[in-house]
Amino acid sequence: MGTVNRLIVIVLFEGVDLLDVTGPPEVFSLVPRETPERVGYEVALAAETLEPVTTAAGVRILPDTTFDEVGARAIDTLLVPGSVEVEGEVEGEGERRIHPVVEPGTVARVKALATRARRVASVCVGAHILAAAGLLDGKRATTHWSTAQRLAADHPAVRVDPDPIFIREEGEVWTGAGISACLDLSLALVAEDFGEAVALRVARQLVMYLKRPGGQSQFSVPLEQVSTTRRIEDLRHHILNNIGRRLTVPDLAAYAHVSDRQLTRIFKTELGTTPHAYIEAARVELAGNLLETTDDTLERIASRCGFGTVDTLIRAFRRRLATTPSEYRARFR
């Protein structure tokens, strides 16, 4: 009996991010080695023509097939990578603005191929292509944190969540966050297809965790959006330095010498969140670090991080990371 392969089609276009294209096949290629059954994947790189495609890294890739050719086949998974363009020059210590590449021809091809696919998945800013094709309407989706606001603004019908590493929605639509998270997304696809045990063995070959929980944050609290005022930076440092203590809006407002209402407005404007949400995120971040690096009990961690009780700690983890502190420790210790 021959090997039974699931066809995975990866969409190519000029300027595509290299790791978005090459990362997932590295994961998929290990499946036959890690299962006794004759199963695996067939990965096909598809483009408009068979001419080499130049990636954002300058490396050229040869397509395996054209969109027209692969469109005649039954596709198991359509994988859509992304790309960004940089606008303007850096001024002072500012950053260049980036925007996702959404070429109408690619969008049309993705929309057509999706009708032939059992499931569709995007990597990084590839979510913008799925959204433009109407495949994310009414669904929750993620993308690289740097373009999440743009995705939400351009596609109001999409419920954008910039925090998770990947999201799976009904109808077999998956979206993944920025670049290296394509490996986490790929492992999740392997686990769905062939089980957690196979995914675990693949992860070990790659020297990775089995998979980071889909709800795990893309980045740590201290690395969130940089604020533009010294006042909010002082507040953030004050929160981190006093994370185990009682922190309320009146307390923070008094520290910053502003009213409660003005404090809330400052957080919303500068960080896009509320003081309460920011404090909780900072506490979850610290608790995660303690779970990974210490043998502290949950009671001790809850106290050190300002949660007060283990129940409060657990609720915050479920809300922020879609997991429990114990599950988090088991995965990341």
Q: Supply the residues annotated as catalytic.
A: 124
Tokens representing 283 are: 């506490």
CA–CA distance, 121 with 185 (Å, rounded to integer) = 9
Q: Give burial (CB, 10 Å; 0-12/13-18/19+) of 148.
A: buried
- In eight-state DSSP terms, residue 34 is G
d(CA 128, CA 99): 10
Pairing status of strand 60-61 against strand 65-66: unpaired
- Helix, strand, coil abundance in the chain, percent, nearest 5: 45, 15, 35
Beta carbons within 8 Å of 29's beta carbon, 6+ residues apart: 41, 43
Write phi, then psi, for 144 (nearest 5 degrees): -60, 140
Encoded tokens for 149: 């606001």
Cα–Cα distance, 44 to 250 (Å, whole number) = 58
Distance CA 312, CA 23 (A): 38
Distance between CA atoms of 314 and 323, rounded to whole angstroms? Answer: 8
Whether 288 contacts 182, CB under 8 Å: no
182, 176 contact by CB (below 8 A): yes
Total length of the chain: 333
Q: Is the dihedral of CA 21, 161, 284, 273 positive or negative?
A: positive
